[in-house]
Structure 1
Amino acid sequence: MNLFPCTLVYVDVDASPGPNSRNRDPLSYVSQAICLNNSLRQVGMPRLTIMTNAPALVAQRLESMAPERRPALMTLKATIELPKNTSFYAAHFKLDLMDQMADSLPADTMLLLLDADMVALLPLAPDLIERCAEAGLGAFDISDQVFPPYGSERVVADLEIVADRRLRNPRWYGGEFLLATPAALRRLVPCARASYARYIAEIERLRHHGDEAFISAALNVLADEGQGLIEVGAYQAVGRHWPGNNYRDVRWFRCCSFVHLPGGKALLEKEARFADFVPDRFWRHMRVAHLRGRVRHALKRIARLLSVERLVTLSACALRSAKS
């Protein structure tokens, strides 16, 4: 089974930037995609295809690169409409991307849909690819990262509102990784279109906005109906890393095939300036960013503790004044 690595770069200068993006350059995601493509080449995987609604602008950003090093380009046929101030606005158009790929991929090729702010450190294991090909779908279950901070009842409620049914085993899937056969995509896309329509209709009631909400709902519905689905995170196909977060030991990520860095976009854009991706250099920079993040987290905790102590002191003073 062949792989078709693909990422979405949706350009709209009037739309709100992603919540995790600090770079206001609308083409900053192209730089991240260059880094991703370089890392794919480094591990011997097929080159990345950038699907975009602005191919001429993206091509201009790539023209300084040698042709053999450039990502490929495809034009996205965007069909969905939603308010431009919606959180994760651009990511919603992954639904159009999947729809387009369902009808254009050869039967022996799987879509490997990746976010641009990722790097490949190792090739995907052949056994995992085979299992996903047999099942039809491979997705990244991040329920353990989403349920605790937001509350499992609230997350499940959002999923079931969008799915319009009670789900047997509700799971939340990360939008950064999807592995799908064309046949499975042709089942997923209509289900996701229906979920998207309910998502838009109920968006004011939902706590969670973005492609993960309606794609996760659709994946849950398909799983309940018997669709095979491999959870790729258990195989360390992908890990999501935030600088300073100690959800996992940082060394765990070095054994992942892909690392997603939603809080490390600037690091990826710097890496894109190099002609080749060097894992040791990237890892060194990632560790430094991680340690800086740990320091920031520690300083924030100290600041919160000092604020609490100050409030307690002020309250005690006010109480003594009142008694006197």
Structure 2
Amino acid sequence: MNLFPCTLVYVDVDASPGPNSTNRDPLSYVSQAICLNNSLRQAGMPTLTIMTNAPAVVAQRLESLAKAHRPALMTLKATIELPKSTPFYAAHFKLDLMDQMADSLPADTMLLLLDADMVALRPLERNLIERCAEAGLGAFDISDQVFPPYGSECVAADLEIVADRRLRNPRWYGGEFLLATPAALRRLVPRARASYARYVTEIGRLRHHGDEAFISAALNVLVDEGQSLIEVGAYQAVGRHWPGNNYRDLRWFRCCSFVHLPGGKALLEREARFAEFAPDRFWRQMRVAHLRGRVRHALKRIARLLSVERLATLSAYALRSVKS
């Protein structure tokens, strides 16, 4: 089974930037995709294809690269319409990407849909690829990262609103990684279209916005209907890392095939300036960013504690004043 690594770069200068993006350059995701492609080449994986609604603009940004180092380009046929102020606006067009790929990929090729702000550290295990090919789908279950901070009932309720049905075992899937055969995509896309329509109608009631909401709902529906799905996170195919986050030991990520860095976009854009991806150099920079994040988290906790203590002191003083 062959792999077709692909990422979405949707360019719209009038749309709100992603909540995790600090670079206001609408083509910053091209730089991230360059870094991702370089890392794929270093890991011995196929060339990345950038699917975009602005191929001429993206091609111009890639002109400075050696031809052998450039990602491939495909034109996205965008059909989705929603307010440009919608959080994660550009990511919604992944649905159009999947729809297009369902009809264009050969039967012996799996779509490997990746976010641009990722790196490949090592090839995917052949055993995992075979399992995903047999099942049809491989997805990244991040329920353990989403349920605790938002509340399991709240997340499950959002999924069931979008799915328009009760789900047997609601799970939340990360949008940064999806492995799918063309046949599985042809089953997934119609359900995702239905979930998207419901998502747009009910968006005011939802706490979670973005492609993960309606794609997760569609994946849950498919699973309830008997679709097999491989949870790739258990195989360390991908890990989502936030600088300073203690969710996992930093060393765990070094054993992942892919690392997603939604809070490390600037690091990836700097790394894209090098002609070749060097895992050790990247890892050093990632470790520094992580340690800096730990310091920021610690300072924020101290500030919160001081605020609480100050509030408690002022409250006690006010109470004594009233009594006297």
TM-score category of the 2 structures, normalised to the smaller one: over 0.9
Per-residue deviation, 1:210: 0.3
Cα deviation, 1:227-246, whole Å, max 9, x if unaligned, reads: 11000000000000000001
1:190 aligned onto 2:190: yes
Instruction: After TM superposition, give the deviation of residue 84 of structure 1 in Å.
Output: 0.5
CA distance in 2, matches of 1:314, 1:223: 54
2-structure distance, mates of 1:177, 1:315: 49
Shift of residue 26 of structure 1? 0.2
Gaps of at least 5 residues in structure 1 are: none
**How far did residue 38 of structure 1 move?**
0.1
Aligned residue number for residue 317 of structure 1? 317
Aligned-partner Cα distance in 1 for 2:285–2:146: 27
SS in 1 for 2:205: coil
Offset of residue 189 of structure 1: 0.3
Q: Deviations over 1:35-79 (max 9, x none)?
A: 000000000000100000000110111000001100000000000
1:257-300, CA deviations, whole angstroms, 9 ceiling, x for partnerless residues? 00000000000000000000000000000000000000000000
Corresponding residue number in structure 2 for 1:103: 103
Measured after TM superposition, the shift of residue 25 of structure 1 is 0.2
- 1:105-159 Cα offsets, whole Å, 9 max, x none, are 0000000000000000010000000000000000000000000000000000000
| Residue 209 (structure 1) aligned with residue 206 (structure 2) | no
Partner of 1:232: 232
- In the TM superposition, residue 319 of structure 1 has moved relative to its aligned partner by 1.4
For the residues of structure 2 that align with 1:161 and 1:318, how far apart are their CA atoms? 47
C-alpha displacement of 1:322:
1.6
- Deviation of 1:323 (Å): 1.8
Q: TM-score, normalised by structure 2?
A: 1.00
CA distance in 2, matches of 1:158, 1:299: 33
Aligned to 1:41: 41
**3-state SS, counterpart of residue 281 of structure 2:** helix
CA-to-aligned-CA distance 1:5-25 (integer Å, 9 cap, x gap): 000000001101000000000
TM-score with structure 1 length normalisation? 1.00
Measure, in 2, the Cα distance between the counterparts of 1:315 and 1:216: 46
Shift of 1:174: 0.1
C-alpha deviation, 1:312, in angstroms: 0.9
Question: 1: CA distance between counterparts of 2:175 and 2:230?
Answer: 15
Distance in 2 between residues matched to 1:226 and 1:315, nearest whole Å: 58
| 1:321 CA drift (Å) | 1.6
RMSD after superposition: 0.4
Work out the CA distance in 2 between the residues paired with 1:54 and 1:296. 37
Residue 196 of structure 2: SS of its match in structure 1? helix
Secondary structure, in 3 states, of the residue corresponding to 1:255?
coil
Q: For residues 247 and 311 of structure 2, what CA distance do their matches in structure 1 show?
A: 30
Question: Mind listing any 5+ residue stretches in structure 2 that lack a counterpart?
Answer: none
Q: Distance in 2 between matches of 1:307 and 1:144?
A: 30
Query: CA–CA distance in 1 between the matches of 2:25 and 2:319?
Result: 53
Residue 121 of structure 1 pairs with residue 121 of structure 2 = yes
Shift of 1:192: 0.2
In 2, distance between residues paired with 1:42 and 1:237?
16
Number of residues of Structure 1 aligned to a counterpart in Structure 2: 324
Q: Distance in 1 between matches of 2:58 and 2:4?
A: 19
Flag as ranges the 4+ runs of structure 1 deviating above 4 A: none
Counterpart mapping for 1:50-129 below 5 A: 50-129=50-129
| Residue 251 of structure 1, CA deviation | 0.2
Question: How far, CA to CA, are the matches of 2:274 and 2:172 in structure 1?
Answer: 35
1:317 Cα shift? 1.4
Give the whole-Å Cα distance in 2 for the aligned partners of 1:316 and 1:225.
59
Distance 2:206 2:323 in 1: 48
Q: After TM superposition, give the deviation of residue 320 of structure 1 in Å.
A: 1.7
Which SS does the other structure have where 2:58 is aligned? helix
The structural deviation recorded for 1:315 is 1.0
Deviation string, structure 1 residues 187-206 (Cα, Å, up to 9, x no partner)? 00000000000000000000
State percent identity of aligned pairs: 91
**Matched residues in 2 for 1:127 and 1:248: separation?**
25
1:316 Cα deviation after fit: 1.3
Q: Distance in 1 between matches of 2:320 and 2:177?
A: 59
